[in-house]
Structure 1
Amino acid sequence: MTRDLSALLTSEGPVLGTWSQIAAPEMVDLIGLNGFRFTIIDCEHGVFGIETAENLARAADANDIACAVRVPRNDPVLIMKALDAGIRHVVIPNLESAADAARAVAATRFAPHGLRGACPCCRSGGHFIRNWDDYVTAEEARVGIIGLVETVEGNRAIREICETQGLRALMFGPFDLSVSMGLNGNWRHNDVRAAVTDMVACATEAEIPVMMPVFSPDPSECGELMAFWREKGVDCFVIGSDKILIASAFAEWTTGLAQT
């Protein structure tokens, strides 16, 4: 099954990962072969479902990198399917309240402590679980929810969200937050940075690891952003996405060759 992302979240940084939005295991190969330590398989904005995500997770396994999956919404069935597929960490978009966070965490726990459906024949248990009690103990220790806070409402509720027991990490979405704030995608705006800085401080105070998206296609700007957030206690970064990095490389080649 997939590597333990939890260990990366608590290790000394910088720890670099990216988003997988291209439905190709070869792209995950390239992510792993070029030094990234994890990827987040994006089933919210990527145009694919859990069947493809499972195969991308296999590619992550083959390249010895960790992975998580971002589900389209905070739905216990979608979370269950990701966990049953052996993807141990699930990113939940658009958390806006402590109730949202608690519902997501409950979806990783079996009854009577949670909402996760139970099946002894799934990839996470080797397709036939012979000792259910041992499986439950191990599974609930290794799976985790990464809450993505990306709206004004989520920003307002961040202290209550941070009090939720069982969150493995938090992520903050500056692009969506800028849209929610009426800033039309201007994720560099000072008000966006101030809001995210406040949320990072709340997570740090609650001893919840932070995964910080860094969107810029410019490596120099990425470095500056990483340095800023590392001063705030962030060590784990989600750099661009496979699409952003590939597009940047394509543009570098075409621009350079056009000038010869």
Structure 2
Amino acid sequence: MTGSGILPGPHLDRLAARLRSGAAVTGVVLKMPGAALVELAGHVGFDLVVLDTEHGPAGGELLENHVRAADSAGVPVVVRVSSNRPEQILHALDAGAAGVIVPHVDTADQAAAAVRAAHYPPHGSRGFALSTRAGRHGAARTDRHIRDAERTLVIAQIEDVAAIPHVAEIAATPRLDAVWVGPGDLSLSVGRPGDLDHPDVTAAIDRIVTDAQGARNAKLCVIVRDEREARSWRSRGAAIVLYNAIDVIRTSLTSLASGTDAEAGPPPARRPLDKTREQEHR
């Protein structure tokens, strides 16, 4: 009996193949800890889970356990690392992630550096070790592992004004799979923090989208607040649509709480218990 392939399995093939063929995929962005939510995302049918270690915990064992949870539900994980540092990209991929999202990519050189860090030679400079989880803790065959690593996805996040003049060059970077428009940081960089509907912000986003769509390989990735936004972005050619789990949960809970408060009315009057029943309830 011989080991083969990288963890977690064939769902990595499906994600890379679908995205690179131009198919639309839908994912959810989750912060750790939340292994049960990762599993649930797979069970309900999401195409991928993004684990956000830029704005959330990023511990090695914690990350590996969340990727294990995703594996159990057959959903691939892409990790948003906290910076464009090779060791962070390596850490995520060694844990078994299907790819990485690199924040604050402002130039084509930075995009190329991210790609190099994510791929083995001759396409990059990723460090090699089969003792990792991605290498089945030493049980994987070297040739199969390296060949399977060709599926690794690299997504560059465009979220700074400084990046806008370079979007076309960034999107044209060989082996860059997608460009993610980061509206939150972009609004801050534009000088309109949090005002995602301000004309300055929407104009910046529109230019990024226009320049990115001219690329042959890099797809458009966006984060949305609801289904209406998702449909709108699909019509604009977004291949990857991501829902922010905390936004979805907050919106749903707020709606439930508001509805419950409005309909419940005053609490029912408490009926007095006789002494015998009162003792039973103590």
Distance of 2:257 and 2:151 partners within structure 1: 44
Residue in structure 1 matching 2:174, options 136, 143, 165:
165
Report the counterpart of residue 204 of structure 2 in structure 1: 195
Report the counterpart of residue 210 of structure 1 in structure 2: 220
* Change in CA separation of 1:36 and 1:137 when aligned onto 2, cut-off 3 Å: closer
* Change in CA separation of 1:233 and 1:112 when aligned onto 2, cut-off 3 Å: closer
For the pair 1:154 / 2:157, whether they are aligned, the reply is no
Report the counterpart of residue 136 of structure 1 in structure 2: 146
For the pair 1:238 / 2:248, whether they are aligned, the reply is no
Q: Aligned residues: percent identity?
A: 32
Report the counterpart of residue 101 of structure 1 in structure 2: 111
More deviation, 84-93/25-34:
25-34
Distance of 1:16 and 1:130 partners within structure 2: 30
> What runs of 5+ residues in structure 2 fail to find an aligned partner?
1-6, 265-282
SS in 1 for 2:83: coil
SS in 2 for 1:124: coil
Q: In 1, are the aligned partners of 2:76 and 2:97 still within 8 Å (CA)? A: no
1:1-260 aligned at under 5 Å gives the runs 1-2=7-8, 3-4=11-12, 5-9=15-19, 10-13=21-24, 15-111=25-121, 113-128=123-138, 131-139=141-149, 141-207=150-216, 208-214=218-224, 216=225, 219=226, 222-223=227-228, 225-239=229-243, 241-259=244-262, 260=264
Distance of 2:184 and 2:107 partners within structure 1: 19
Q: Which amino acid aligns with 1:166?
A: R
Give the superposition deviation at 1:111.
4.3
Distance of 1:109 and 1:101 partners within structure 2: 13
Q: In 2, are the aligned partners of 1:23 and 1:48 still within 8 Å (CA)? A: no
Could you list the per-position Cα deviations for residues 5-52 of structure 1 after superposition, in whole angstroms to 9, with x for gaps in the alignment? 323424543x32111114121111222233322110000001332322
Give the superposition deviation at 1:66.
2.2
SS in 1 for 2:118: coil
Bigger Rg, structure 1 or 2: 2
Runs of 4+ in 1 over 4 A off after TM superposition: none
Q: Which amino acid aligns with 1:188?
A: D
Give the superposition deviation at 1:153.
0.9
Could you list the per-position Cα deviations for residues 174-200 of structure 1 after superposition, in whole angstroms to 9, with x for gaps in the alignment? 111011000011112233222222222
Q: In 1, are the aligned partners of 2:168 and 2:214 still within 8 Å (CA)? A: no
Give the superposition deviation at 1:123.
1.4
Could you list the per-position Cα deviations for residues 149-193 of structure 1 after superposition, in whole angstroms to 9, with x for gaps in the alignment? 111011221122122111011111011101100001111223322
SS in 2 for 1:123: coil
Number of matched residues?
251
More deviation, 110-119/49-58:
110-119
CA RMSD of aligned residues (A): 1.9
